[in-house]
Structure 1
Amino acid sequence: KLILVTGRELPDLKEVFPELSIFDKVVAENGALIYTPGSEEERTISPAPSADLVDKLKKRGVKPLSVGRSIVATWEPHQATVLDVIKKLGLELEIIFNKGAVMILPSGINKATGLTAALSDLRLSPHNVVAVGDAENDHAFLRASGCSVAVANALPAVKETADLVTKSARGKGVEDLIHKLIKLDHLIARKRSRGVLLGTAHGKKIYLSPVETVLIAGSSGIGKSTLATALTERLVEKGLQFCIFDPEGDYDGLQGAVPLGDASSAPSKDQLLELIDKPDNNIVVNGLALKVDERPDFFAELLPGLGSVRYRTARPNWLIIDEAHHLLPKKREDTR
């Protein structure tokens, strides 16, 4: 999926770049307007500009002055006048800078909120987003994304925010990034805090990368499920979606997760796919109602649908398979 996140107003954007159809979503006006090129649907997620504000700015000689569906914009050095007018009118507005541009928006509206709204439409998680930026107004949505990238010509502060910095500037940097993504299928963020904290060793924090696979093994009763449960708590803290396959009901009542199935009723594939479609849902698939010899077939039946969701959305971010020998016996060939 391709999303454009910009401070520009939509009419201006269409004029300077008519090929908007290449994007699945466009977040314009620095997060205030969501546009779907395929259907040409537009919707704002913040109020229209105050008429008093626009009138006062014009009377104070602020120009150029652009008024969008929600945004009001001008250029430096008018920021002092803008701030003074906002203060005198008692409005709850923010000033956001963009390499000389001065953008006025309702408090709390930025590229991150706009991106969140667009991702909700697409049923995608911000953890699966690679975001690219270069200016002051990019900090919010870079921090909200799973992997943030600054192009080589970005402001120094933006480079500090980003996980990665491209070697090339501007569009060439983005082009190189896309080629790398296609080749590797993932990017490893340099900021270790992007991962899941496992614990400490020799005084250093150890993080689990989102692309790693973990095997928890050992004899019965030593706390394997307890450790896995602790891991889910860290996933919830990070907002990472997980799905647990629980053949023996060890995760019954797990906080932050929706239970599916119980000791008397087996979970269904349709229920699982309906729940997993929403990025905020974590799911425990309880197979206690199934006989031991039924469990491998049940798991094999669920995998294609779940694989399709992961292909489209890269979710759930984590699959946790408890008692793996129940669901993936060595003799099976159809669940590799």
Structure 2
Amino acid sequence: MGTLPRLIATDLDGTLLRADRTVSARTAATLERMSAAGTHVVAVTGRPVRWLAGVFEQLKAPLPAVCANGAVVYDPVGDEILRADPLAPDLLAEVARRLRAEIPDVMFAVEIEDGRRMLHEAAWPTLWEDGDPSIRLVDLPDDLLTAPAVKLLARATAHQDPDAFVRLVAGALAGVAEATHSSRSGLVEISAAGVTKAAGLAWLCTRYGVTADEVVAFGDMPNDVPMLTWAGTAVAVANAHPAVREIADRVTLSHEEDGVAAYLEKLLADADRD
């Protein structure tokens, strides 16, 4: 009691951010207090680099970030990619071949250029991304597989249950690539073998001279499980997926109730009393 962790690692969507994708004033202020107290604060997210600016502009200062489920480590101050671990084109082709054989209606999109651009097939639902110049439709599906990708995204109209779909994809890719999900819409996120939020965070912690037992991590979805398992203290928000709640050491309030801020405020209060 009374000693602050050396590093806070927090997921963004569904954990730090509210449902409207905003960071509350309370949360922003609490993160600033943690940083001022000497604790590293790191965003660890499935988001690509290009989706971070809208979050960081709500904070007093941008956060170092582990992006694309661990495939990219990013320094926003210098707009610098510190580390990238993409799927090579030959691996992308093998993954696509296996999934097309197992799931005939599978459709793909890829995050390329360290997550600064996305390419997608014609059938891919772009939703709110329509009109974004960093996102481009390709004419032929195999055109997606010609450049290294920090993340391959897969959907299938016949597989809408995300837990069942990720199990199917993971089975087809066993030993070849990592498959996980961070949404409730039947989207599966695929990375190179060994690339997880835990691996990306561990690399950054080594750079900082921080060990796993000195880390408190927050998350809500299955893609957070490797990070939460690796960290010394794993905290689930109340709205977390059952797989996250099962392995968490602690459960805080939901993302709508500023659960990350509430947990950190208690740590700060304990440290003040020490």
TM-score bracket for this pair, using the shorter chain length: 0.5 to 0.7
Q: Match of 2:82, SS? A: strand
Counterparts of 2:171 and 2:246, CA distance in 1: 31
Do structure 1's residue 110 and structure 2's residue 154 form an aligned pair?
no
Partner of 2:107: 63
Partner of 1:164: 250
Deviations, residues 282-321 of structure 1 (Å, cap 9, x unaligned): xxxxxxxxxxxxxxxxxxxxxxxxxxxxxxxxxxxxxxxx
Larger radius of gyration: 1
The residue type equivalent to 2:74 in the other structure is Y
C-alpha contact 1:65 1:73 (8 A) present in aligned 2:
yes
Counterparts of 1:18 and 1:53, CA distance in 2: 39
Distance 1:65 1:126, change over 3 A: same
Counterparts of 2:107 and 2:54, CA distance in 1: 21
For structure 2, which runs of at least 5 residues remain unmatched after alignment? 1-39, 115-149, 160-164
Q: Match of 1:175, SS? A: helix
Deviations, residues 251-294 of structure 1 (Å, cap 9, x unaligned): xxxxxxxxxxxxxxxxxxxxxxxxxxxxxxxxxxxxxxxxxxxx
Partner of 1:291: none
Distance 1:80 1:183, change over 3 A: closer
Do structure 1's residue 42 and structure 2's residue 81 form an aligned pair?
yes
Q: Match of 2:43, SS? A: strand
Q: Match of 1:48, SS? A: coil
Partner of 1:52: 93
Partner of 1:226: none
Q: Number of residue pairs matched? A: 184
TM-score (norm 1): 0.47
Partner of 1:145: 231
The residue type equivalent to 1:155 in the other structure is H
Higher relative contact order (CA 8 A, sep 6+): 2
Counterparts of 2:238 and 2:166, CA distance in 1: 27
Q: Match of 2:243, SS? A: helix
Do structure 1's residue 73 and structure 2's residue 153 form an aligned pair?
yes
For structure 1, which runs of at least 5 residues remain unmatched after alignment? 187-210, 212-336
Deviations, residues 33-64 of structure 1 (Å, cap 9, x unaligned): 00011222103342334352576579955335
**C-alpha displacement at 1:185, in angstroms?**
2.9
**RMSD, matched Cα:** 3.2
Counterparts of 1:167 and 1:83, CA distance in 2: 31
Partner of 1:180: 266
Aligned-residue sequence identity (percent) comes to: 30
Counterparts of 2:52 and 2:208, CA distance in 1: 22
**C-alpha displacement at 1:72, in angstroms?**
0.8
Q: Match of 1:66, SS? A: strand
The residue type equivalent to 2:209 in the other structure is R
Counterparts of 1:62 and 1:95, CA distance in 2: 14
**C-alpha displacement at 1:114, in angstroms?**
0.6
